[in-house]
Structure 1
């Protein structure tokens, strides 16, 4: 009987599978009784919470959100450190520490409200690093040119006048912006397409509410101060504790903190002008720079120097700002499709 070749009676009725390469036997697992990779994830090991000192917390208050007073005192620990309690319980600090703690609570509350109305980094809807670099270069060149004119052609009293004009700009900028922004927004609203006006109107109302908060704070501060002065005059004749004066000091302190934290973002963002239209901050900048030039001309006259230098110094500053603003609008139109007419 033959068991091989074509006469094999036990030959299977199907052809053998085609050869696909050399035979590789299956590789056994390290442990044949276990499922492959029985622990795909490493065991959880709780990490200790890093300690953050109060000094490190204080150094990070500038750019981040301010933590509550309890978290600030804890300094990253689950509980308030014993040294902090010892410092708080020292008798010589009883008149200083409570004032600082109350001031911090007021400042944090006012800062949260101010940044909620005027976000610090919302002055541009589309961030363009090239435009930012050009604006910084223009501002630096303008400062250097002003200093060069004062050094070459200026007199000693011109330095004091230049400082007075700088302080005047800081004081005049918020009210001038509040007066100029509605005019520019009205022109832009009139110029926009009819189908975009309802949407712009909603954003104008939102920006107007934030501006009303600022106007109300600016108006309330002198009124409260007048009320405090009148109450002090009345309480001078009596020996009672001036509770009404203390009650008026509380909102006055909060409003002062609010104005401190809200003025910078509000002026940089044009009172949320970018929310109304992406090109509105550039337009407001071009309008304000000519208004400042006219105010400086009326208050202090032309810069020092020969007539040609005076004319160029007066004209080139606002013209360069307008050129940068117009280039910013051009980049908004070419890169982001922002058009003045919508």
Structure 2
């Protein structure tokens, strides 16, 4: 008597395929159970919920329902950024415009902060002009949508302002650590700024530039328009501040014009892709 006869002439029950007979050598026979999900500790769950990167994603990434998010455009922007950074690295190393890797990193960090500050000033001007040019029904909707992008501007500026405020008030120098309780508070505040605020600021600065202060929440055509204005503003700042001094004249011109021209080309291509592929135009957003 075989195993089937022992079960009333029926093949053994297969929990993975209950409607199919069991065959030991069948390629779709019983499979091992999936591994249980690893247990996540309370601290890690809290960190994933309120950590600087998690909060940064909420604050600095666009999240408007129904927003068009084109992966091809995002890929093109990443390629342009990588090529531009590689060109700057090559020129600075080839012509010894920086003494060390640390100097180059400091220069890039400084340039990033300047970009963020200029963008923070440009954002309300450009978005305000677009809202002012819109017809009243669209004006109210665009103004409502601009609340979260404006909040991201306030968030990055407030986070950065904490560091000079801590230095000017003497908090980091221990001026308020006059007793055990105040000493503990001072240490906790310093740790909070290093462990949470600093990563939030670094991540927020990068996301603010990538997503142009999440202005896609206002309308999909606003980020390329704002990027156009920003990149030509930065080109003028580099021109008047003597950026890339020490490089040959032709190379310096290429560096000064390379970024604005490439960003302009990508922005115009993005606007055309939005118009042709999705029917989104700036004029339609303004109801003009």
| TM-score normalised per structure 1 | 0.59
2:177 aligned with 1:192 = no
After TM superposition, give the deviation of residue 224 of structure 1 in Å: 3.9
How many residues align structurally? 253
Which ranges in structure 1 are unaligned for 5 or more consecutive residues?
1-40, 54-70, 75-100
Q: 1:210, 1:271 within 8 Å by CA — same for their partners in 2?
A: yes
Cα 1:303/1:145, change in 2 over 3 Å = farther
After TM superposition, give the deviation of residue 239 of structure 1 in Å: 7.2
After TM superposition, give the deviation of residue 245 of structure 1 in Å: 1.8
Cα 1:264/1:239, change in 2 over 3 Å = closer
Which ranges in structure 2 are unaligned for 5 or more consecutive residues?
1-16, 20-29
Report the equivalent of 1:109.
50
1:64-143 equivalences under 5 Å are: 71-73=39-41, 105=46, 108-111=49-52, 112-119=54-61, 125-143=67-85
2:193 aligned with 1:208 = no
In terms of Rg, which structure is larger?
1
- Cα distance in structure 2, aligned partners of 1:336 and 1:308: 40
After TM superposition, give the deviation of residue 174 of structure 1 in Å: 2.2
Report the equivalent of 2:13.
none
Cα displacement string for residues 195-238 of structure 1 (whole angstroms, at most 9, x for unaligned residues): 311100101123223332333322234334555637723546x6
After TM superposition, give the deviation of residue 288 of structure 1 in Å: 1.9
After TM superposition, give the deviation of residue 273 of structure 1 in Å: 0.5
Q: 2:238, 2:256 within 8 Å by CA — same for their partners in 1?
A: no
Report the equivalent of 1:66.
none
Q: 1:303, 1:314 within 8 Å by CA — same for their partners in 2?
A: no
Report the equivalent of 1:293.
235
Report the equivalent of 1:325.
267
What SS does structure 2 have at the residue aligned with 1:142? Answer: helix
1:244-263 equivalences under 5 Å are: 244-246=185-187, 248-249=189-190, 252=193, 253-263=195-205
| TM-score normalised per structure 2 | 0.69
2:113 aligned with 1:171 = yes
